[in-house]
Amino acid sequence: MLDFCIIGSGISGSTIANLLSKKYSVQILDKARGPGGRASNKRFKDNLSFDHGVQYISPKTEKFKNFINQLNKKKILKIWDGNHLDFTFEKKDNNQKFIGRIGNNAISKYYLKGIDQKYQSEVKNIFNNNYFWEITLTNNEVIKSKSIIFTCPFPQLKILAKKFLNKKILNLKVDMEPNITTMIAVKNQKDIPISSIKFNDDILAWIAYENSKKRFRSSVGLWTIQSTVKWAKKKINIYKINNKVENLLISKFINFTGVKKNKIIFKKTHGWKYSYNSKGSPYKSYWDRKTRIGVCADWFIGSKVESAWLSANDLAKKILHFKSFN
């Protein structure tokens, strides 16, 4: 029987798995095809690769800065240099921007080396029989574990674990904001001196020129296009069935960049229904020592990769030092 079953392979899931694996048996479950969560990398044939979730990592706290610098020295991450334009009126971010050397799921991959991982495994139900947890997957496979940890977005957490969580967690006001991301490939595009652009627009929030990350050579121009939260709220439930959503994002991109529509040879859109929580919460993580259920996620603290990492570290302290939520 497992000591810990961890739901989710994103930054918080992979971090807590790594920290606990030094002392306990651990297994990761994720409904996706691979690790990373929202810090994932999408690959298609013909060497098309996009960081379609997390844009980059810009550490703020000393603890996280030290961790990121270590990964940079180990060549897991690297600095994303280049021309990052900002057309908004927000406070400028002058911190270094780090990205994975191969993809932005680099941290999860690094942390999960040697750890049991099970993908395309969606949790349908959990049951506590007082001695251990039974986790039933959608294919009816049952996994038994002494403890369970969730790292999923808040709305999904409430669906799966509502009757097992403290009301202080359930009553949190967590607003998970959506995002719609379109990935395109442009043929015969000459290399340009731009890495990313942040826009002051109602629809288009940010674009990244993936080729500027210099991970590999590509014969086409690769772009990641991300929407604003405000616009995504209106379109997140229809983007799969309404081509106008994708077309409007691309049209905005064309207007700003001057790329010819007939040069676009590939396009794919992904919707992040629960992209991030912009407000944070009074807590950093949750651990009930009696029932052995825990939660760590970025939404406890904020909206960044750093938030997920700090939450996982906080939960690890509670577990390893036998502290409970209260």
What's the CATH code of the domain at 81?
Answer: 3.90.660.10
Question: What is the rounded average pLDDT for all residues in the chain?
Answer: 93
Task: Write down the residue that tokens 């060497």 correspond to.
Answer: 47
HSE of 100, CA atoms in CB hemisphere, 13 A: 23
State the pLDDT confidence band at 93, using cuts at 50, 70 and 90: low
138-187 per-position pLDDT tens digit: 999 999 999 999 999 999 999 999 999 999 999 999 989 999 999 999 99
State whether 250 and 307 are in the same domain.
no
Are the C-beta atoms of 17 and 162 separated by less than 8 Å?
A: no
Between 324 and 300, the more confident residue is 300
> Could you tell me which of 62, 30, 238 has the C-alpha nearest to residue 137?
30
Residue 245: pLDDT above 50? yes
State the pLDDT confidence band at 326, using cuts at 50, 70 and 90: very low
State whether 245 and 150 are in the same domain.
no
> Could you tell me which of 46, 49, 45, 3 has the C-alpha nearest to residue 24?
3
State whether 267 and 291 are in the same domain.
no
Domain assignment of residue 71, given as a range: 49-99+176-277
State whether 55 and 182 are in the same domain.
yes
Amino acid occupying residue 325: F
| pTM of the predicted structure, to 2 decimals | 0.94
Summarize the confidence of residues 301-326 as an average pLDDT. Answer: 87
> Is 134 domain-assigned?
yes
State whether 139 and 153 are in the same domain.
yes
Task: Write down the residue that tokens 């550490």 correspond to.
Answer: 59
> Is 107 domain-assigned?
no
State whether 19 and 73 are in the same domain.
no
Summarize the confidence of residues 79-90 as an average pLDDT. Answer: 88
> Is 128 domain-assigned?
yes
Phi, psi of 234 (to 5 degrees): -80, -25
How many domains does one find in the chain?
Answer: 2
State whether 241 and 168 are in the same domain.
no
Tell me how far apart the alpha carbons of residues 100 and 78 are, in angstroms, rounded to a whole number. Answer: 6
Report how far apart, in Å, the C-alpha atoms of 197 and of each of 8, 232, 260 are.
Answer: 31, 19, 18
Task: Write down the residue that tokens 């960049």 correspond to.
Answer: 257
> Is 160 domain-assigned?
yes
State whether 266 and 202 are in the same domain.
yes
State the pLDDT confidence band at 324, using cuts at 50, 70 and 90: low
pLDDT at 319: 96
Residue 92: pLDDT above 80? no
> Is 41 domain-assigned?
no
Between 321 and 261, the more confident residue is 261
State whether 242 and 130 are in the same domain.
no
| Residue 198 burial (CB count, 10 A) | 19
> Is 104 domain-assigned?
no
pLDDT above 70 covers a percentage of the chain that reads: 97
> Is 79 domain-assigned?
yes
| 25: CATH | 3.50.50.60
State whether 185 and 263 are in the same domain.
yes
Summarize the confidence of residues 195-224 as an average pLDDT. Answer: 93
State whether 197 and 184 are in the same domain.
yes
State whether 259 and 305 are in the same domain.
no
Residue 258: pLDDT above 50? yes
> Is 40 domain-assigned?
no
Q: How many residues does the chain have?
A: 326
